[in-house]
Amino acid sequence: MRSAPPVLVPVGRFVWGQRLPWVLAAGSGSLLWLTGHASAASSLQILTGGLIWLACLLASWYRLRREMLPPGLLGWDGESWQLQQTGAQAMAVDVQVVWDLGSAMLIRVSASAADTALWPGPRYSWLSAAQMPALWHGWRCAVHGRDIL
């Protein structure tokens, strides 16, 4: 039986990870404001739309902070996945590919059954070949290795 080679990659440092929600919020808020004024909506309707937008923004921000993978190192040792977060002990995790674009990948990282009390629910992270060109092939072999073994 063959296994993918060991690999250690940085996670949780996606360049647009912190900026994208603010760009989307500014764009959707601007669109809401323009739509309200272009349709001759009353001030009460614009205010109601703005409050709904703000509630959605706050809920999205809360969920995003809770579901993003914090910075650390994700390692495959040939048999299992380990996550080493800054200032914390390494923990066993399960890694699944959510979306694979070839040169970028969205992954879901879940704590193993023994560690779910410490880290409930899955976390997500974007990885791209541009961030780690020398490691990308080994990373793809490791993450897709269980699919073919």
Instruction: Look up tokens 């793809």; give the residue.
Output: 140
Element (H, E) at 107: strand 104-111
Measured between alpha carbons, how far is 35 from 28 in angstroms, rounded to an integer?
10
Q: Residue 14: its pLDDT value, please?
A: 57
Strand order in the sheet with 81-85: 7-11, 72-76, 81-85, 91-100, 104-111, 123-128
| 40: pLDDT strictly greater than 70 | yes
Closest CA to 12 of 87, 106, 79, 100: 106
14-18, 45-49, 68-72, range with greatest mean pLDDT = 45-49
Please state the rounded mean pLDDT for residues 120-127.
82
Q: Residue 49: its pLDDT value, please?
A: 81
Amino acid at 77: D
List the end-to-end C-alpha distance of the chain, in Å, as a whole number: 8
Q: pLDDT tens, 129-139?
A: 888 888 888 88
Q: Residue 2: its pLDDT value, please?
A: 55
Q: Which residue has the higher pLDDT, 13 or 28?
A: 28
CA atoms in the 13 A half-sphere facing the CB of 71: 7
Q: Which residue has the higher pLDDT, 32 or 66?
A: 32
Q: pLDDT tens, 62-109?
A: 777 766 777 788 888 888 888 887 777 788 888 999 999 888 888 888
Q: Residue 1: its pLDDT value, please?
A: 42
Please classify residue 91 by burial: count the beta carbons closer than 10 Å to its beta carbon, then call 0-12 exposed, 13-18 middle and 19+ buried. Answer: middle
